[in-house]
Structure 1
Amino acid sequence: MVPLDPNARPIDHVLCGAADAPALIDRAGAMTFAQAEARVARLAGWLARAVPEAGARVATWLPKTREACLMPLAAARAGLVHVPINPALKRAQVAHILADSGAALLLTQAARAATLEAGDVPDATQVHVDVGEGDAGEGDAGEGEALPPSDADPHALAAILYTSGSTGRPKGVMLSHANLWLGAVSVAHYLGIEPHDRVLGVLPLSFDYGQNQLFSSWRAGAAVAPLDYLTARDVVKAVERVGATTLAGVPPLWTQLLEAEWPAATATAARLTRLTNSGGALTPAMVRALRARFPAADLYPMYGLTEAFRSTYLPPALVDANPDSIGRAIPFAEVMVVRGDGAAAAVGEPGELVHAGPLVAHGYWRDPERTAQRFRAAPDFSRAGGVAVWSGDSVVADAEGLLRFVGRDDEMIKTSGNRISPQEIEEAVTAGNEVREAVAIGVADARLGQRIVVVARGEPGAEAALRARLKRDLPTYMQPAEIVWRAELPRNANGKLDRARLAADVRSVVQ
């Protein structure tokens, strides 16, 4: 088990496995830790030559190629800041991230680069097209003089991860080397990852949850098998092909995997010895179903925030008796339940989840106003003190200190494990001539967590044209499941759209 050493290191030191042990497994075969280290060193040399300015941002818009997996380490070694872009995003979202981050370089593929239009790429951004279009192999990202492991200050910025907020376009969360390193150590420790483990990486590397699978596995000396999948069947086959022992997912994926056909009764399913969940709460029924389908697997429910990486986990031994719990603080995190007056909530009393300690990010990139709203001084009773993340999520603690999620205070839509800004959807819906006003609402859905319903002021006859445009402008997971047409939308006393009333009306009708 990885020791809980609180001393952070530069994140490019995270390749801790035996030299001849596999670090990455894909269709091209296995890349050993020694080979991965050598590739990181050469990529870092190429980056340092291409982008000589220390602290400059370099973006990747790639599926899970080897470059996509190793670039977070190579960028850090070159003294740069990595900005991973979700490959599911379309040109408008990519253009926003490139401009907002001030990226000096974008590493992508020809097919993706071809979708970008004039003005999408800032003049100062170099675009490097990697010809390695498949899910395996090294592609052609430049070869440079091998750089040694970095001696960066652990508190220096290492990555910017873009996440949706309740208003506006995605915002960049600033993560230091220490955030990433201690997150890797914490997860590897409490999951008990060992060198023999093979972790199937199905989550996007632009998510903190997906990226940490790389870092925590490598810190423990284990192998990661990155996978871009289209159907649950792809995941089933990959478990068998790579001999996966560990799988991280979100509730919609578990629903699909429970419905999928697994070969040889439970032989393939029984390979999995560890399941981890975040991005939404598991229901008691889903816990029972996962137990039955994956009899050899320990189940780890978790709760996380991009702004503080991960906050809580529930040990497997406590899951059956507490199927609706999100557990207690992970190592290096102080998690508190805080009343509206700033005092500690009593047992059984709901309050806001507040996270303090060294996993707390450094705020939002170039956005001091929103940083001040979410990153505030820890409560007076905090042991860690300093700046804390105030989540906006309501939780309640029981007598054993286990937390249960109660609700979300903002209007975020959480679908298929993605946190989506209603305003971003609304801006896309009203960007054309089909709709005059729109409100996006999340409605409970057994498979997705929530599905997106848009209430639009306009004519229903415009729906075909609207959907065609949205298909071009928004990624699949942001497409409305339903569009409800209204001649007028209700307003509150201030003349603003009455979102609460619309949400209540819509949920009463469509659920």
Structure 2
Amino acid sequence: MPAPETASALPLDHLALRGEDDAEALVLREGPLTYKALRTRVARLAGWLAREVPEKGARVATWAAKGELTCLMPLAAARAGLVHVPINPLLKRAQVAHILADSGALLLIGTPARLAGLEPGDVPSVCRLMAEQEALEAAGEADLALPSSSANPDDLAAILYTSGSTGRPKGVMLSHANMWLGAESVAGYLGVTPQDRVLGVMPLSFDYGQNQLLSTWYAGACVVPLDYLVPRDVMKAVDRHGITSLGAVPPLWVQLCEVDWPEAIAAKLRRLTNTGGALTVDLVKRMRSLFPQARLFAMYGLTEAFRSTYLDPALIDTHPTSMGKEIPHAEILVIDDAGQVAADNVEGELVHSGPLVAHGYWQDAERTAERFKPAPMASRYGGMAVWSGDRVRRDADGLLYFVGRRDAMIKSAGNRISPQEVEDAALATGLVAEAVALGIPDARLGHAVHLVVRAAPGVATEHAEAELPKRLARDLPNFMQPRVLHWRAAMPIGPNGKIDRTGLFQEISA
């Protein structure tokens, strides 16, 4: 068995030190920042944070669109000895309230409109609120610049909240080393250079969005964050900023392939990356036809391990549905139901070992024990591993193929959605007595959320049908909204006495 590769990490904030002084590091709406300017602003924001929240290891949350705050906070919080909790700007008050309470955040910085939408009881008494611009101005005026940190790379640097198959979102604990080595690994296998300009369309609260930002800076390249309204905005940004690298999830790629790309703009792209769901054979053909000069990287990742596999672009035409092989700093084993390494083309569970494995779920020993377990005996790394719950197979050439998910997670438009969270929101309205959320295959979204419900006793069905969509629109973020509501007079019951979810899925997806 070969020995594990040597992995050496630095404190996360050292990423700001890698680019040339006069090279562009970040393009904001207000204009570009060079690496020299990036270093100055990170240092000042870190100094201000350390003054405002002096407790080392305390959590600070951000809830804002892409901009200076959300881009600089991962490095500034790390330099200040704090733990960053980025909150998806699409989430609504109920989800934000849970994250604030669960993380124990002492400070939430956000856009005024978002903060104004919070209600009494949503914000713990220990948590202060501050408007985004107010925080940036205070940091700029304070002149409390902190030098680069000497943090232990194993210290916690961030908590990324992700939906589980049941219940509320859980916080994945990532260390400086997790994020540094993830950036090093991805920048390396993608071949990112200081000449690259990377368009950041993924939310910075997602592991993919975070890694895209950090791997770009690891390579000394430039990132252009973009909150787009329509796919054409992405094409315009590629043209305007000379973008060479674009990453997205399959539903966005479907939309981008429907845009009329002038050949000169399409030719600017030299690298395409995909994760958050598998590419179809047809979509690969369309992408390769539209961007023939670009290398297409199909990738698979886990928030619990930041990134796991990629397919060599040279193989994308002949193996369009493969997840590829393990990335640097990762070890991927396929473990069969007997607990042994699966034979070629035999289905098993994907198990990820190595230094990219996260430190578990924040204050959740039970769910941590379910997913983070000792590595298989065959592991060259040993230690703790992420047992993904995803079923895969490995062919004789070592290429991995996705088979299915063990849990009921819904993956729609690149978002991981907890069925129970959608069901709980429906039941909380008092309009329905039973609710079942299902992910139904959808050509554009990957899976669309369908919600099967039965009206509560004493509630007129007509009233419930009219009011439930309004209540869900108020209580759930847009990406969790059911595409279709199915009303039933009675729910089907399986032999175990529980609602027959499998039967409902088969009926609706037929």
Residues 178, 358 of structure 2: 8 Å contact kept:
yes
1:345 maps to: 342
1:455 counterpart SS class: strand
Residues 92, 473 of structure 1: 8 Å contact kept:
yes
2:257 counterpart SS class: helix
**Offset at residue 173 of structure 1 (A):** 0.1
- 411 and 216 in structure 1: CA distance in 2 versus 1, 3 angstrom threshold: same
Residue type of the partner of 1:349? V
1:190 maps to: 189
1:87 counterpart SS class: coil
**Offset at residue 287 of structure 1 (A):** 0.6
2:12 maps to: 11
**Offset at residue 139 of structure 1 (A):** 5.9
Matches of 1:472 and 1:397 in 2, distance apart? 44
2:444 counterpart SS class: coil
Matches of 1:171 and 1:80 in 2, distance apart? 19
Q: How does 1:255-334 map to 2 (within 5 A)?
A: 255-262=254-261, 265-334=262-331
* Percent identical residues: 62
- 159 and 143 in structure 1: CA distance in 2 versus 1, 3 angstrom threshold: farther
2:379 counterpart SS class: coil
1:484 counterpart SS class: strand
- In structure 1, runs of 5+ residues without a counterpart are none
Structure 1 residues 281-337: Cα deviation after superposition (integer angstroms, max 9, x where no partner): 001111110011112210000000000111100010011110010000000000000
Residue type of the partner of 1:320? D
1:14 counterpart SS class: helix
Residues 59, 83 of structure 2: 8 Å contact kept:
yes
1:238 maps to: 237
- 139 and 244 in structure 1: CA distance in 2 versus 1, 3 angstrom threshold: farther
**Offset at residue 29 of structure 1 (A):** 1.7
1:44 counterpart SS class: helix
1:114 maps to: 116
Residues 43, 143 of structure 1: 8 Å contact kept:
no
Residues 41, 146 of structure 1: 8 Å contact kept:
yes
Residue type of the partner of 2:393? V
Residues 410, 417 of structure 2: 8 Å contact kept:
yes
Residues 165, 407 of structure 2: 8 Å contact kept:
yes
Residue type of the partner of 1:173? V
Matches of 1:293 and 1:475 in 2, distance apart? 33
Residue type of the partner of 2:307? R
**Offset at residue 142 of structure 1 (A):** 6.0
The answer on 1:393 being equivalent to 2:390 is yes
**Offset at residue 505 of structure 1 (A):** 1.9
Residue type of the partner of 1:20? D
- 460 and 297 in structure 1: CA distance in 2 versus 1, 3 angstrom threshold: farther
1:175 maps to: 174
- 140 and 112 in structure 1: CA distance in 2 versus 1, 3 angstrom threshold: farther
1:490 maps to: 492
Matches of 1:301 and 1:132 in 2, distance apart? 40
Q: How does 1:156-235 map to 2 (within 5 A)?
A: 156-235=155-234
Residue type of the partner of 1:437? E
1:441 maps to: 438
Residue type of the partner of 1:234? D
Residue type of the partner of 1:25? V
Residue type of the partner of 1:413? I
The answer on 1:35 being equivalent to 2:46 is no
Residues 40, 73 of structure 1: 8 Å contact kept:
yes
The answer on 1:414 being equivalent to 2:411 is yes
Residues 309, 360 of structure 1: 8 Å contact kept:
yes
1:40 counterpart SS class: helix
Q: How does 1:440-459 map to 2 (within 5 A)?
A: 440-458=437-455, 459=461
Normalising by structure 1, we get a TM-score of 0.96
Matches of 2:370 and 2:462 in 1, distance apart? 39
1:331 counterpart SS class: coil
Structure 1 residues 161-218: Cα deviation after superposition (integer angstroms, max 9, x where no partner): 0000100010000000000000000000000000000000000000010011111000
Matches of 1:206 and 1:311 in 2, distance apart? 18
**Offset at residue 442 of structure 1 (A):** 0.2
**Offset at residue 461 of structure 1 (A):** 4.4
Matches of 1:323 and 1:194 in 2, distance apart? 26
Work out which of the residue numbers 495, 505, 508 in structure 2 matches 1:506: 508
The answer on 1:377 being equivalent to 2:378 is no
Matches of 2:141 and 2:443 in 1, distance apart? 47
Structure 1 residues 207-259: Cα deviation after superposition (integer angstroms, max 9, x where no partner): 01001111100010000000011110111111111110000100000011011
Structure 1 residues 420-452: Cα deviation after superposition (integer angstroms, max 9, x where no partner): 000000001111122111000000000000000
Matches of 1:110 and 1:302 in 2, distance apart? 36
**Offset at residue 18 of structure 1 (A):** 0.2
Residues 440, 450 of structure 2: 8 Å contact kept:
yes
1:155 maps to: 154
Residues 92, 120 of structure 1: 8 Å contact kept:
yes
1:396 counterpart SS class: strand
Structure 1 residues 258-292: Cα deviation after superposition (integer angstroms, max 9, x where no partner): 11122xx3111110000000000001111110011
Residue type of the partner of 2:231? A
Matches of 1:140 and 1:494 in 2, distance apart? 60
2:458 maps to: none
Residues 195, 220 of structure 1: 8 Å contact kept:
yes
Residue type of the partner of 1:273? R
2:80 maps to: 78
Matches of 2:466 and 2:6 in 1, distance apart? 57
Residue type of the partner of 2:464? A
1:215 counterpart SS class: helix
Residue type of the partner of 1:452? V
Q: How does 1:422-441 map to 2 (within 5 A)?
A: 422-441=419-438
Residues 157, 177 of structure 1: 8 Å contact kept:
yes
- 420 and 143 in structure 1: CA distance in 2 versus 1, 3 angstrom threshold: farther
**Offset at residue 464 of structure 1 (A):** 2.4
Residues 46, 143 of structure 1: 8 Å contact kept:
no
RMSD of aligned C-alpha atoms? Answer: 1.3
Matches of 1:450 and 1:24 in 2, distance apart? 34
Normalising by structure 2, we get a TM-score of 0.96
Structure 1 residues 12-45: Cα deviation after superposition (integer angstroms, max 9, x where no partner): 0012110110000123221000101110000001
